Structure 1
Amino acid sequence: MLTVGLEQATFRAFHGLYPEERVIGNDFVVDLFVTIPGTHHIDTISETVNYQGLYNVVKKIMAIPQPLLEQVVYSISDAVKEKYPEIKRAVISLKKMNPPMGASVRNSIVTLEKNY
């Protein structure tokens, strides 16, 4: 198997359960790793998953406000699989930096590990 990924892709987005989060926004960090069959040498970009394409999918999903981070990671999973049907597994982590919860917390995190 071959894994292709992005680490610490950073976005300003408006996900959150509370109305003020939809107005003020927050900083988010996405880690995304996808696994494809890797039984032969890769010679062209068409034989693998283009990480620029992965970034573009994540960027598109991050621009759509959703109340729960869980919804966001499932949306990323669905969109990545649609763009790259050869993917067999994905691990997606979404961190909300400094979540507004009245406590000193660096980030909250939701991680989805999915086999297709």
Structure 2
Amino acid sequence: LFVDSEGKKANYPRFYRQMLDRLAKEQRKLSRKKKGSSNWHKQRIRVANIHEKVANQRKNFLHHQSKELVANFDAVVIEDLDMKGMSQALKFGKSVADNGWGMFTSFLKYKLNEQGK
């Protein structure tokens, strides 16, 4: 995700990869249900809850990392990367998407602006 000037890396926990097995199991259950039935709706909610949990974990991690960077550094330089191209060309699309790079840069931007940095 990032490396700061002191060489510290953001030890990213890969939330999506952790939940992949559980998500696949719940999605298989969903595919076996009759579309439109009440059990299908319940299972759809279970799958959505897993996706929401992953998104919330990612957002929380990115908020904490961006807050730490803003508190410790006066200037932050970000390289302009083509994340879409990286995810398609280098065969690690899930990992690139799981990083939440765009969200991280927007968090950094508004936190740095608030601090006047």
TM-score w.r.t. structure 2 length?
A: 0.30
Computing the radius of gyration from Cα coordinates, the structure with the larger value is 2
TM-score w.r.t. structure 1 length?
A: 0.31
Q: Greater share of strand residues, 1 or 2?
A: 1
Q: Greater share of helix residues, 1 or 2?
A: 2
